[in-house]
Amino acid sequence: MQQHARIQHEAEPNEGYIRKLIAEGEHQQLDFKFGINDSRKIARSLAAFANTDGGRLLIGVKDNGSIAGVRSEEEFYMVQAASEMFTRPVVPFEVKEWTINQKRVLEIIVPAIKDILHSAPEKKDDYLVYIRVKDENYPVNSVWLKAYKWKNSKTGTFIRFAESEKFFLNYLETEPSITQSRFCKLAKINSRTAENIIAGFVAIGMVSIVFTKQGVIYQLSDTYSGLTPEQRLKKITSHVSK
């Protein structure tokens, strides 16, 4: 295996760089790993960081923030394998080794990579696109992928604004969220139609996708909520296909 990242050995400065990171707790750009025994699982973290805002993995740190230290350089090679063998395309990273109280912590630094989506295996050969939400990695769904494609289209994003679209927004004016299946049932439309409607509103910034452990829900975005009814209509109609 060709090594594409080298370990930079660092002594922790007096102000306690690693301790300050640990004090933040796990969040959208920081994850703790006591150790690595599954490169595929680490690949999901690398892909999620790259697809979102970038981030850091601290290897040798328990979930509660206590420093256990890495056991051997094998940890580094497991991360390297995760990147080179189990992310598509390969997610680059930097790695620093910090010594704290004679214990070694690996800091894996992953940049945010725009305009390219990275995937990692959910199972052996089932590659999915992952994103980082708070302190969790989630595989995206077809609505997210379609919205991403439309949002980044060179020709712009265009939607319909007929009865089903109006029903969707009106529902969210009175209810906090909705699922795709419930939208299908209430609006009496098929799943593909619902997917296109929701993805269109997500692409133009009117609706947010919320990933949870219980499933995916949709709600009005902060952008939508911050506009007057006239401004909302103007923004939406500017994206209506002619």
The CA distance from 208 to 232, in Å, is 15
Q: What is the pLDDT of residue 102?
A: 87
Among 148-157, 166-175, 179-188, the minimum mean pLDDT is found in 148-157
For residue 235, count CB atoms less than 10 angstroms from its CB and return exposed for 0-12, middle for 13-18, buried for 19 or more: middle
Domain span holding position 229: 142-237
The owner of tokens 């060179």 is 154
Q: Residue 31 falls within a domain, yes or no? A: yes
Q: Residue 167 falls within a domain, yes or no? A: yes
Residue 182 and residue 167 in contact, taking contact as beta carbons nearer than 8 Å: no
Domain boundary among 94, 116, 138: 138
Q: Residue 1 falls within a domain, yes or no? A: no
Q: What is the 3-state secondary structure (H, E, C) of 37-81?
A: CCHHHHHHHHHHHHHCCCEEEEECECCCCCECCCCCCHHHHHHHH
Domain boundary among 138, 153, 183: 138
Tell whether 148 and 52 lie within a shared domain: no
| Residue 1 scores a pLDDT above 50 | no
Tell whether 69 and 179 lie within a shared domain: no
| Residue 124 scores a pLDDT above 60 | yes
Q: Residue 242 falls within a domain, yes or no? A: no
Q: What is the 3-state secondary structure (H, E, C) of 88-138?
A: ECCCCCEEEEEEECCEEEEEEEECCCCCCCCEEECCCCCEEEEEEECCEEE
What Rg do the C-alpha atoms of the chain give, in angstroms?
21
Q: Is 8 helix (H, G, I), strand (E, B) or coil?
A: strand
CATH classification at residue 199: 1.10.10.10
Q: What is the pLDDT of residue 33?
A: 95
For residue 181, count CB atoms less than 10 angstroms from its CB and return exposed for 0-12, middle for 13-18, buried for 19 or more: exposed
Tell whether 128 and 199 lie within a shared domain: no
Q: What is the pLDDT of residue 4?
A: 55
Q: Residue 2 falls within a domain, yes or no? A: no
Tell whether 146 and 134 lie within a shared domain: no
Tell whether 90 and 30 lie within a shared domain: yes
Tell whether 48 and 90 lie within a shared domain: yes
Tell whether 111 and 214 lie within a shared domain: no
Mean pLDDT across the stretch 184-193?
98
CA angle 41, 75, 138 (to 5 degrees): 20
Q: Which one, of 48, 16, 45, 14, lies nearest residue 32 by Cα? A: 45
Number of domains in the chain: 2
Q: Residue 228 falls within a domain, yes or no? A: yes
Q: What is the pLDDT of residue 101?
A: 86
| Residue 9 scores a pLDDT above 80 | no
Tell whether 76 and 12 lie within a shared domain: yes
Tell whether 82 and 111 lie within a shared domain: yes
The helices-and-strands tally (H runs, E runs) of the chain is 9, 10
Domain boundary among 119, 138, 157: 138
Q: Residue 89 falls within a domain, yes or no? A: yes
Tell whether 102 and 222 lie within a shared domain: no
| Residue 3 scores a pLDDT above 60 | no
Tell whether 150 and 170 lie within a shared domain: yes
Q: Is 216 helix (H, G, I), strand (E, B) or coil?
A: strand
DSSP assignment of 24-41 equals H-SBTTEEEES--S-HHH
The CA distance from 15 to 21, in Å, is 11
Q: What is the pLDDT of residue 123?
A: 78
Q: What is the pLDDT of residue 166?
A: 97
Q: Residue 209 falls within a domain, yes or no? A: yes
The owner of tokens 């993995």 is 57
For 26, 67, 91, 104, 189, the CA distances from 71, given in Å and listed in that order, are 22, 12, 24, 8, 55
Note the pLDDT tens digit of each residue in 18-47. 999 999 999 999 999 998 989 999 999 999
Side-chain-side CA neighbours of 33 within 13 Å: the count stands at 24
Note the pLDDT tens digit of each residue in 45-63. 999 999 999 999 999 999 9
Percent of the chain clearing pLDDT 70 (strictly above): 94
Is the backbone peptide bond immediately before 89 cis, with ω within 30 degrees of 0?
Answer: yes
Q: What are phi and psi of 83, to 5 degrees?
A: -70, -50
| Residue 86 scores a pLDDT above 80 | yes
CATH classification at residue 132: 3.30.950
Q: What is the mean pLDDT of the chain?
A: 93
Tell whether 59 and 178 lie within a shared domain: no
